[in-house]
């Protein structure tokens, strides 16, 4: 009996076109999810950008920026879909999503010692609400307070929030069933981190609520 093909080590993609049709189907679902978000969230602007080439044989990337009412940018992020028909170690599947979120926080919010845990809960709760499941999630949350001294002591204090995560969508037979939900969850986190108001009536119930810090 032939031995099963081992999973491809992470970071060592091949040049084979195996799985290209499945990848294109997955990208189409991501793009459909972006189209929905453009209608729901006019504050968000999306732009496709070059995807990483060494992480998987196939990859698709899109960047988002938050500019409410034509004002200056207050946040943004990046969504990357990776696909490897052979799977990779640590993926538990053919697909892997990388999500990045950044935003400016109110100083009092950034000073909360639980803000990193709360920020991570925005992602997990959004995924729980928007998708049918996910596996092998991991990531980091970073908050940075920048304060001027000396000649810059009069400059306002700035506080930054960054979330970096990766997870595998729980996909079985139908690749088109759920990737738009993962896009929606990513957008939810960007909006929450940037402090945007709730969605208009009729869709507000789809927005995940911020988890109260546990006592």
Instruction: Please tell me the distance from the alpha carbon of residue 8 to that of residue 89, in angstroms, as a whole number.
Output: 7
pLDDT at 211: 32
What is the torsional sign of CA 110, 114, 115, 116?
Answer: positive
Q: Can you point out the beta strands (E) in 67-114?
A: 75-83, 95-104
Locate the domains of the chain by residue range: 20-205
Q: In this prediction, what percent of the chain has a pLDDT beyond 90?
A: 50
Question: Residue 148: which residues within 8 A CB-CB, separation 6 or more?
Answer: 154, 155, 157
Residue 101, SS3? strand
Angle at 134 between CA 129 and CA 135, to 5 degrees: 150
The residue with greater pLDDT, 124 or 9, is 124
* pLDDT tens digits for range 88-105: 988 988 999 999 999 988
Quickly tell me which residue has 């209608």 as its tokens. 39
* pLDDT tens digits for range 166-212: 999 998 665 555 899 999 999 999 999 988 876 655 454 333 333 33
Arithmetic mean of pLDDT over the chain: 81
| CB 86, CB 22: distance < 8 Å | no
pLDDT greater than 60 at residue 2: no
Residue 52, SS3? coil
Burial classification of residue 197, based on how many CB atoms lie within 10 Å of its CB (0-12 exposed, 13-18 middle, 19 or more buried): exposed
The residue with greater pLDDT, 125 or 113, is 125
Structure-block tokens of residue 93: 């599947």
pTM higher than 0.85: no
Instruction: Please tell me the distance from the alpha carbon of residue 137 to that of residue 87, in angstroms, as a whole number.
Output: 16
pLDDT at 173: 60
Where do the H-state alpha helices sit in 86-158?
107-110, 115-130
């Amino acid at each position: 009996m032939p031995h099963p093909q081992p999973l491809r080590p992470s970071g060592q993609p091949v040049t084979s076109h195996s799985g290209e049709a499945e990848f294109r189907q997955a990208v189409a679902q991501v793009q459909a999810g972006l189209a929905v978000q453009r209608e729901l969230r006019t504050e968000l602007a999306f732009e496709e950008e070059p995807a990483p080439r060494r992480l998987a044989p196939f990859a698709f990337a899109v960047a988002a920026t938050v500019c409410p009412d034509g004002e200056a940018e207050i946040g943004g992020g990046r969504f990357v879909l990776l696909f490897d028909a052979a799977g990779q170690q640590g993926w538990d599947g053919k697909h892997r999503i990388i999500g990045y979120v950044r935003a400016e926080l109110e100083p009092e919010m950034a000073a909360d010692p639980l803000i990193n845990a709360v920020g991570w809960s925005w992602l997990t709760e959004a995924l729980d609400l928007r998708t049918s499941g996910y596996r092998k999630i991991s990531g980091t949350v970073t908050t940075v307070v920048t304060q001027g001294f000396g000649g810059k002591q009069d400059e306002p204090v700035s506080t930054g929030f960054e979330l970096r995560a990766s997870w595998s969508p729980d996909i079985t037979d139908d690749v088109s069933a759920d990737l738009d939900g993962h896009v929606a969850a990513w957008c939810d986190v960007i909006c929450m981190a940037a402090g945007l108001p709730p969605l208009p009536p009729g869709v507000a119930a789809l927005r995940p609520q911020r988890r109260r810090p546990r006592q």
